[in-house]
Structure 1
Amino acid sequence: MALAVATASAHAEEAGNPAPVIDPSIDRTELVASEIRLGNWERLYVASASMHRIVPVDVLRGSGSEPRPTLYLLDGVEAEDTSGWLTKGRAAEYFTGKPVDVVLTSGGVGSMYTDWQRYDAMLGLNRWETFLTDELPPVVEAYLESSGRRAIAGVSMGAQGAMMLAQRHPGRYAAVAGMSGCYSTADEFGHTVTRMTVGSRGGDVVNLWGPPGSPEWAAHDSFLGADHLRGTVIHLSAGTGLPTPADLAAITQAPNIFDAARMAGGGSSLEAGTRTCTERFAQRLTQLGIPATVHLTPTGMHTWPDFADALGPAWRTLAPALNVPAD
Structure 2
Amino acid sequence: MQRRSFRWIAAAFGAVAATIITAAPASTAPETAPGVTIDEVTAPNGSFIEKMVVTDARHLRLYVHSAAMNQTFPVDIQRPADTSTPKPALYLLNGAGGGMDRASWQLRTDALSFLSDKDINVVQIIGGAWTFYTDWVHPDPVLGVNKWQTYIAEELPPLIDAALGTNGVNAIAGLSMSGIPVLNLAIANPGLFRSAAVYSGLTQVSDPAGQQAVKLTVELYGGGDVENMWGPVGGPQWVANDPLVNAEKLRGTHLFVSTGTGIPGIHDEPGGPFRMEKPADTPKTVALGALIEGAIFVSSRNLQSRLDQLGIPATFVYRDTGTHSWGYWQDDLKTSWPVLAEGLFSQA
| TM-score, normalised relative to structure 1 | 0.87
Q: Does 1:188 align with 2:208?
A: yes
CA shift in 2, pair 1:231/1:35, >3 Å: same
2:98 maps to what in 1? Answer: 79
1:261 maps to what in 2? Answer: 283
How many Å separate the matches in 2 of 1:138 and 1:44? 14
Q: Does 1:167 align with 2:191?
A: no
1:114 is displaced (CA, Å) by 0.4
Q: Deviations over 1:155-211 (max 9, x none)?
A: 011121101111122222111111111111111122012112212221211111111
1:62 maps to what in 2? Answer: 80
1:246 is displaced (CA, Å) by 2.7
1:21 maps to what in 2? Answer: none
1:293 maps to what in 2? Answer: 315
Q: Which has the higher contact order (CA 8 A, sep 6+)?
A: 2
Would you say the 8 A contact 1:251–1:261 is kept in 2?
Answer: no
CA shift in 2, pair 1:125/1:181, >3 Å: same
Provide the secondary structure at the position in 1 that maps to 2:55. Answer: strand
Unaligned segments of structure 2, at least 5 residues: 1-21, 23-44
Match of 2:305 among 276, 283, 287: 283
Unaligned segments of structure 1, at least 5 residues: 1-17, 19-26
Would you say the 8 A contact 1:236–1:278 is kept in 2?
Answer: yes
1:52 maps to what in 2? Answer: 70
**What root-mean-square deviation, in Å, do the aligned CA atoms of Structure 1 and Structure 2 show?**
2.0
Q: Does 1:273 align with 2:271?
A: no
Provide the secondary structure at the position in 1 that maps to 2:252. Answer: coil
Would you say the 8 A contact 1:74–1:159 is kept in 2?
Answer: no
CA shift in 2, pair 1:211/1:175, >3 Å: same
Provide the secondary structure at the position in 2 that maps to 1:66. Answer: coil
Q: Deviations over 1:217-276 (max 9, x none)?
A: 100110010000111111111011122223214369887433221111111111111111
Would you say the 8 A contact 1:251–1:260 is kept in 2?
Answer: no
Range with greater deviation from structure 2 (312-321 or 224-233)? 312-321
Provide the secondary structure at the position in 2 that maps to 1:218. Answer: helix
Q: Deviations over 1:131-154 (max 9, x none)?
A: 001111000111111111111111
Query: Number of paired residues?
Result: 299
| Match runs of 1:229-244 below 5 Å | 229-244=250-265
How many Å separate the matches in 2 of 1:39 and 1:159? 32
Would you say the 8 A contact 2:74–2:126 is kept in 1?
Answer: yes
1:206 maps to what in 2? Answer: 227
Would you say the 8 A contact 1:112–1:161 is kept in 2?
Answer: yes
Q: Does 1:42 align with 2:60?
A: yes
Match of 1:143 among 163, 166, 169: 163
How many Å separate the matches in 2 of 1:111 and 1:255? 24
Paired-residue identity, %: 35
| TM-score, normalised relative to structure 2 | 0.82
How many Å separate the matches in 2 of 1:153 and 1:309? 13
CA shift in 2, pair 1:255/1:318, >3 Å: closer
